[in-house]
């Protein structure tokens, strides 16, 4: 591959595919590459050997408060409504997560109403000011016992760090409720692509101005390709050859399993195991996809230090290291860094979509100004 092109997009996940589509629709010629053998990035889904639609890189549930993002993606997919529910295994009970009124009543064998649960939290909470870490967030809202039962060990397992070593934003993803709402998310839009994420990405990239090449690593071609502009969505430290040292990303190992002649394995989409097992959670895909099948497929997530980069690790020293890379990135006039790995942000899919739409707008307006 030795040639010159106008736009090279590195990575065909949400970030790269959306930028590619926007540029192509504005009449630009785009080459998009991914080192994996498929598009869709971590949202990639596929039918397993038993015909069940699974998410290879762990469960991906779409939720957003931004109608603009749903409208944009609706060009490439229809949707099915899906509200995710999660139970956490604590003291041999399966209890609603996020913690709500039923969690408290069933755990402590109480019969509190909403005001009673509110008063309960007021009594047990350990006020923190300022709220700096993930430990602060949870202690400040529900106190030590619930912290230890639901958050402490899960977080240690997931991140290899104590909650006191992680930024507040990590645990703050999980609300605490006094009502009986047992949905994992409360966003106004909670939908799954009707025919899966991969199909949605294939349609997004099916454009005469887009050439897709999978199984191509940027590192292997970067010296051969002359691109007018590069949109880079891989890990930012890798782009700069780790010149300031490695930026920590948390990895996972996914253990997929099919259970024949088992229509349903668990009552809800995901069961979290804060205190038992080396894995954090089990997800049963049929809940997410609504697929009818005589068997079922599940995935267990085992957190790991090494491996594919899945999570940026939000804590001050990592943010400081990221900032050093970001300064270098700002000097690369012809490169845009977009997405969860390139921006080192614990972004959900809709946030990456929003960042990608904005990046595409910036590139197009800049290029217009130059022309």
- The tokens for 63 are 């939720």
Closest CB 180 distance from ligand UDP, rounded Å: 18
Residue closer to ligand UDP (CB basis): 234 or 274: 274
What CA–CA distances, in Å, run from 144 to 93, 137, 187, 198?
A: 19, 11, 28, 42
User: Considering just the CA atoms, what is the radius of gyration of the chain in Å?
Assistant: 22
Chain CA centroid to CA 235, Å: 15
Tell me the window of 16-24, 110-118, 167-175, 214-222 that interacts with ligand UDP (CB under 6 A): 167-175
Please identify, using beta-carbon distances, which residue of 272 and 296 lies nearer to ligand UDP: 272
DSSP string over 312-327: E--SHHHHHHHHHHHH
Confirm or reject binding of residue 158 to ligand UDP (CB under 6 A).
yes
Site for ligand FAD contains 157 (CB under 6 A): no
Per rule CB under 6 A, is residue 155 in the interface with ligand FAD?
no
Number of residues that bind ligand UDP (CB under 6 A): 13
- To the nearest whole angstrom, how small is the minimum distance from the Cβ of residue 40 to ligand FAD? 7
Q: Classify residue 183 by its DSSP letter.
A: B
- Partner that binds at residue 366, options ligand UDP, ligand FAD, none, CB closer than 5 to 8 Å by kind: none
Interface residue with ligand UDP among 52, 53, 90, 170 (CB under 6 A) is: 170
d(CA 313, CA 217): 24
Residues 26-45 that bind ligand FAD (CB under 6 A): 33-36, 41-43
| Of positions 150, 159, 201, 347, contacts ligand FAD by CB under 6 A | 347
CA 119 to chain centre: 34
Least Cβ distance, residue 60 to ligand FAD (angstroms) = 5
Is position 184 an interface residue for ligand FAD (rule: CB under 6 A)?
Answer: no
**Residues 347, 340: Cα–Cα separation, whole Å:** 6
Tell me the three state secondary structure of residue 91: coil
- Closest approach, Cβ 290 to ligand UDP, in A, equals 20
Nearer to ligand UDP, 150 or 265 (CB): 150
Q: What residue ranges in the chain does DSSP mark as E strands?
A: 3-10, 30-34, 45-47, 53-55, 63-64, 79-81, 86-90, 93-97, 189-193, 210-214, 225-232, 249-259, 270-272, 281-284, 296-304, 311-312, 335-337
Query: Contacting ligand FAD (CB under 6 A), which of 271, 348, 354, 360?
Result: 348
Q: Which residue from 154, 185, 201, 279 is in contact with ligand UDP, where contact means CB under 6 A?
A: 154
- The answer to whether the Cα torsion of 9, 13, 19, 21 is positive or negative is positive
Distance of alpha carbon 125 from alpha carbon 117, whole angstroms? 12
- Residue 282 touching ligand FAD (CB under 6 A): no
Q: How far apart are CA 355 and CA 137, in angstroms?
A: 27
10/168 with CB nearer ligand FAD: 10
| Nearest CA-CA partner of 341 in 35, 21, 5 | 35
Instruction: Count the site residues for ligand FAD by CB under 6 A.
Output: 34
Determine which residue in the list 217, 327, 330, 332 makes contact with ligand FAD, applying CB under 6 A: 217
Neighbours of 360 (CB within 10 A): 23
x-or-dash pattern for ligand UDP, window 35-74, by CB under 6 A?
----------------------------------------
Distant-in-sequence, close-in-space partners of 260: CB < 8 Å, separation ≥ 6: 50, 294, 295
List residues near ligand FAD by CB under 6 A: 10-16, 33-36, 41-43, 57-61, 217-219, 233-234, 252, 310, 339-341, 347-350, 352
List residues near ligand UDP by CB under 6 A: 88, 97, 150-151, 154-155, 158, 170-171, 173-174, 272, 274
């Amino acid at each position: 591959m030795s040639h010159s092109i106008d736009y090279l997009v590195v990575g065909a996940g949400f970030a790269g595919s959306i930028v590619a589509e926007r540029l192509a629709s504005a009449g630009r010629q785009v080459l998009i590459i991914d080192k994996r053998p498929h598009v869709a990035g971590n949202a990639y889904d596929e039918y397993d050997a038993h015909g069940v639609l699974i998410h290879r890189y762990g469960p991906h549930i779409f939720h957003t408060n931004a109608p603009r993002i749903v409208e944009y993606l609706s060009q490439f997919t229809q949707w099915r409504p899906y509200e995710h529910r999660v139970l956490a295994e604590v003291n041999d009970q399966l209890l609603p997560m996020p913690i709500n009124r039923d969690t408290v009543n069933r755990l402590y064998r109480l019969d509190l109403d909403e005001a009673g649960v509110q008063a309960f939290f007021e009594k047990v909470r350990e006020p923190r000011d300022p709220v700096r870490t993930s430990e602060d967030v949870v202690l400040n809202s529900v106190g030590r016992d619930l912290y230890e039962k639901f958050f402490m060990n899960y977080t240690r397992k997931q991140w290899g760090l104590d909650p006191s070593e992680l930024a507040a934003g990590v645990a703050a993803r999980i609300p605490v409720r006094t009502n009986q709402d047992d949905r994992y998310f409360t966003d106004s839009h909670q939908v799954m692509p009707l025919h899966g994420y991969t199909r949605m990405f294939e349609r997004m990239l099916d454009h005469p101005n887009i050439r897709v090449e999978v199984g191509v690593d940027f590192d292997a071609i970067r010296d051969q390709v002359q691109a007018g502009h590069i949109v880079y969505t891989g890990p930012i430290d890798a782009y700069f050859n780790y010149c300031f040292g490695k930026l920590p990303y948390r990895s996972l190992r996914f253990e997929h399993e099919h259970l024949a002649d088992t229509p349903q394995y668990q009552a809800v989409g995901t069961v979290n195991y804060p205190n038992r097992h080396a894995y954090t959670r089990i997800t049963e895909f049929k809940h997410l996809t609504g697929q009818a099948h005589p068997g079922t497929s599940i995935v267990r997530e085992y957190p790991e230090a090494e491996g594919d980069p899945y999570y940026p690790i939000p804590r001050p020293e990592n943010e400081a290291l990221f900032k050093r890379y970001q300064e270098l990135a700002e000097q690369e006039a012809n490169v845009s860094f977009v997405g969860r790995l390139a921006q080192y942000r614990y972004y959900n899919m809709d946030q990456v979509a929003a960042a990608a739409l904005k990046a595409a707008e910036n590139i197009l307006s800049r290029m217009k100004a130059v022309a």
